[in-house]
Chain A
């Protein structure tokens, strides 16, 4: 295994702890947007898909790469739009009127 993979492994371990720490602070109230938000973040796979398709040389690779780009783009766009839609509902500055209720 190359040194690069070891470096990446080290980074991954640190990222796992960061993920754990960050998520344990999220209130139950926001667990749905948390799920769709983390869904959006693994949409970074689109970057890998673009590189993979960009480097493709054979037709088979190009076809698979194209499928990967379509799926990755759908993942990242859909995940973002849904998360933003949900969080707008919880944002008081965006909904000044409706939040009220206390007489």
Chain B
């Protein structure tokens, strides 16, 4: 029998390098795709050489192959078919799968190496985090998919109950390890999974992306912990690769989570434990009135403007209006209007989501500006067209006492005129009245975003022919 250990080690080493380079390539849209393709090749090589690991029972190979085929096939089909608007919940699912796999590996480690205290401790930690990650991710998926109420679910003494459940789960795990009785792993997983569910329940739909990012980081850490436990055993090579890749993701995910929370001017603890959106603001009164405008008049306003900034929100994506918006922007540009897009960091359902949706529609990413780049430009802008965005353009964020207070927003109300396309008179994701709609320079166009933009496009075509 040939010893493949050196080959396996070398492939893992190269794979890890390509993972880092793949993430690094994402610093520019020009190089990003190449980076991920290389990382994908490296991953494939790492998986293939793992079959050569000495000591694996050949009788289990059929099961491994079947598992890879089933899981890989399901992941491939789903990922190919999914709409870009449904991206956040899909990331949640795939992330949950990773967390579940990490938890399952930890379970096997616990069953087989109950005697080694270091491995046992690491595996227990990996199992806790993995179970929390899969349970929480599933709840996140259900909420974002609309299969479950998005509103935060709260009950008195929630935090205490949650912590008690977690403590109970960990106690069962420790007892299973100390008594070397695998039976207690059952309640251990039951309670840690329950904790993951309880953790995600009080979080509203608007905050879910932050939580998905957090679970992403947690899965990375769970994978790294599993890796630690494997390193200690006779087959450490796979463990080192898992430690590096898992830690990379853990660090990356944590940073991204903090950036996202900061974009909403909230701390992570506030996101996790405050049940944001469950309460209505009290005693706030809004001055002014809502002023509806017809699409034809709105089209004229934009056609004769020098500069237009489009501020899209998730409502645009829900109505699948991206393609029409791109057409509108092109028509305006043909008339010599300067058209730009203002993208709020949490527009859409995850950071960068809006950029992806507009890129899919064919909008050049040079025209997409993030909040910091464009916020100073609004006072010099003739018309801002807000499409299906609400909370991220709400000037209430500048008012003391508002639940949105301090949230960084797009200051669209600074522009000469603001047009808002809105489906109805309902409130935004956060459930808060929008001061912008009542301002003197703001006009409302009610209707489905796609229908309205289609009318705007038609009106522009008529006026130019």
A32 to chain B: closest CB distance in Å? 4
Task: For A45, list chain B residues within 8 Å (CB).
Answer: 98, 101-102, 105, 219, 223, 226, 242, 246
Q: Is the CB of B213 within 8 A of A35?
A: yes
CB nearest neighbor in B for A56: B60
Which chain A residues in 2-52 approach chain B with CB under 8 Å?
2, 4-5, 7-9, 11-12, 15-20, 22-52
Q: Is the CB of B112 within 8 A of A22?
A: no
Number of interface residues of A (CB under 8 A): 92
Q: Is the CB of B104 within 8 A of A15?
A: no
Q: Is the CB of A68 within 8 A of B101?
A: yes
One of A8, A38, A41 near B240 (C-beta < 8 A):
A8
One of B39, B236, B241 near A40 (C-beta < 8 A):
B39
Q: Is the CB of B97 within 8 A of A44?
A: no
One of A60, A74, A94, A100 near B94 (C-beta < 8 A):
A74
Task: For B90, list chain A residues within 8 Å (CB).
Answer: 78, 82
Q: Is the CB of B98 within 8 A of A55?
A: no
Q: Is the CB of B245 within 8 A of A44?
A: yes
Q: Is the CB of B111 within 8 A of A31?
A: no
CB nearest neighbor in B for A29: B355
A31 to chain B: closest CB distance in Å? 3
One of A7, A19, A71, A98 near B71 (C-beta < 8 A):
A71
Task: For B73, list chain A residues within 8 Å (CB).
Answer: 77
Which chain B residues in 281-313 approach chain A with CB under 8 Å?
none
Q: What is the predominant secondary structure among interface residues of chain B facing chain A?
A: helix
Stretch at the interface among B18-26, B160-168, B191-199, B446-454: B18-26
Task: For B374, list chain A residues within 8 Å (CB).
Answer: none
One of B22, B57, B97, B102 near A41 (C-beta < 8 A):
B22
Task: For A11, list chain B residues within 8 Å (CB).
Answer: 240, 243-244, 247
One of A35, A50, A71 near B100 (C-beta < 8 A):
A71
Decide: A80 near B43, CB < 8 A? Known: A34-B23, A73-B68: yes
Q: Is the CB of A82 within 8 A of B232?
A: no
Q: Is the CB of B26 within 8 A of A103?
A: no
Number of interface residues of B (CB under 8 A): 122
B462 interface hit (Cβ, 8 Å): no
Task: For A43, list chain B residues within 8 Å (CB).
Answer: 43, 94, 98
Q: Is the CB of B365 within 8 A of A29?
A: yes
Interface string of A66-81 (1 = CB under 8 A from B): 1111111111111111
| Bound-complex Cα distance A57 to B109 (A) | 12
Task: For B316, list chain A residues within 8 Å (CB).
Answer: none
Q: Is the CB of A101 within 8 A of B57?
A: no
Decide: A87 near B36, CB < 8 A? Known: A35-B256, A101-B330: yes
Which chain B residues in 187-226 approach chain A with CB under 8 Å?
212-213, 216, 219-220, 223-224, 226
Which of A47, A62, A68, A83 gathers most chain B CB within 10 Å? A47
A1 to chain B: closest CB distance in Å? 5
| Bound-complex Cα distance A84 to B19 (A) | 14
Q: Is the CB of B352 within 8 A of A32?
A: yes
| Bound-complex Cα distance A22 to B43 (A) | 19
B10 interface hit (Cβ, 8 Å): no
B37 interface hit (Cβ, 8 Å): yes
Q: Is the CB of B333 within 8 A of A101?
A: yes
Q: Is the CB of B364 within 8 A of A102?
A: yes
| Bound-complex Cα distance A65 to B384 (A) | 55
Task: For B363, list chain A residues within 8 Å (CB).
Answer: 101
Task: For B352, list chain A residues within 8 Å (CB).
Answer: 28-35
Task: For A1, list chain B residues within 8 Å (CB).
Answer: 118
B273 interface hit (Cβ, 8 Å): no
Decide: A22 near B329, CB < 8 A? Known: A32-B352, A57-B57, A90-B359: no
Which of A20, A54, A55, A92 gathers most chain B CB within 10 Å? A54
B66 to chain A: closest CB distance in Å? 8
B277 interface hit (Cβ, 8 Å): no
Decide: A39 near B91, CB < 8 A? Known: A15-B244, A55-B56: yes
| Bound-complex Cα distance A49 to B423 (A) | 48
Task: For B220, list chain A residues within 8 Å (CB).
Answer: 38, 41-42
Which of B79, B231, B239 gathers most chain A CB within 10 Å? B79
Decide: A33 near B240, CB < 8 A? Known: A39-B216, A42-B219: no
One of B75, B78, B255 near A73 (C-beta < 8 A):
B75
B157 interface hit (Cβ, 8 Å): no
B354 to chain A: closest CB distance in Å? 9
In the A-B complex, the 5 residue pairs with the smallest Cβ-Cβ separation, listed nearest first, are A73-B71, A19-B251, A69-B67, A54-B56, A78-B75
Residues of A within 8 A of B (CB): 1-2, 4-5, 7-9, 11-12, 15-20, 22-58, 60-62, 64-92, 94-95, 98-103
- In the complex, 7 of the A-B residue pairs with CB atoms within 8 angstroms, ordered by the A residue number, are A26-B23, A32-B350, A48-B238, A50-B50, A73-B75, A84-B37, A88-B33
Extra 7 A-B pairs, beta carbons < 8 Å, given A30-B32, A47-B241, A53-B67: A1-B118, A53-B64, A58-B111, A85-B79, A86-B87, A95-B362, A100-B364
